Structure 1
């Protein structure tokens, strides 16, 4: 399986309805965007760390999927520490760069917030089968079937595009034209991949229309998606964690409204 359409292992988190996981992830993201503070984001990160063993992901899978978020969080923290708003005593002054106590606190808050918003989203995606998510969105969230099925087909095609990219690279290497000019090679492969994507997308759209996927009538579903007690408990616990994080930040006086 590719990184886009991962192989889903059996785990407690994977057994939760995709809609319940999506609701919790959106609740965490929307709430943490409202404030920049260490406490609320730190509480969410701590809970997510405790949840990782129940996600069913190996150390390698977890590292591959969270690496971009970790790098982004660290870079955002460093940039904030060096060029953020100065407050408190000065810890380091090097030309135009000034590091203060306030900028370090803000950098820590930014770093934790990126992790608190990004890592739950990664867990949601890595433990959810795209077809199950489409079933939940169409049957439980009542989203239009045309939109849901189109998004599912597009997601499946992304995995094929990654395989096409690797195949194109191997083919050019076998012909001896991939050893020089990395920029030119990238542009040529990108153009070829674009042609493949347009052709495959057009054929898929025609096939889906021919099979009635674009119809306006109410359609049936092969697999039924339902909310069970475990799913409701998951959403309630997620809401409680978010509420607890906000309450802790308010009690400690660290909550800072962004808006």
Structure 2
């Protein structure tokens, strides 16, 4: 599901086949001896990489500094060991720390909320807008969402006017942040990009909108208000997306069961 500047659109991405996905021609087979050398080389590199990783990641935080200034940091998102929040409001994580890490955690959790199946439910959507956005943007955002998620739009997804799916055709929209990037930060405002993947669609045997995967980046402008980070505005763009794998697609029943049985996370830096 696409939100932000193109609120209300859905995307279905089909894998492209044929040729090298990175633009080169397919290479022929190698001799067995050369293949053996390649395998040995890869194993050595893996061992070296594992040894390097196990030396400890304690230096990454120091390399990033204290988070002051407006320039983007080159370091990838890394765990800090800090608990992101202690509370939730309307089922949404709240009470984020008033620092760079807190802003990143807020952005990741808000990205999950804004592309969830709950945003399609009018009653739940009101709670989400009130909890996630700054006060002076709530009325306009609520109106914007309501215009996008019309009865006709919901019907095309197999949902009723309340955003509920039929028992045999559950609608799925779950987002998983892959990483975050701070493009600017101050004590009162932060601009965060959240790289995400996710699954969305209807897990029904005869659906015309099957569950598929998606990759996108959500950009959020956050402000510190009411002792928490809140969203002032956001937008979304496609990718970066990896080359599709060759995994066999699961059945509609397996997808629906997985979403019901596997819970989500509260995301932290």
TM-score by structure 1 length?
0.23
Greater share of residues in helix:
1
Higher relative contact order (CA 8 A, sep 6+): 1
Greater share of residues in strand:
2
TM-score by structure 2 length?
0.22
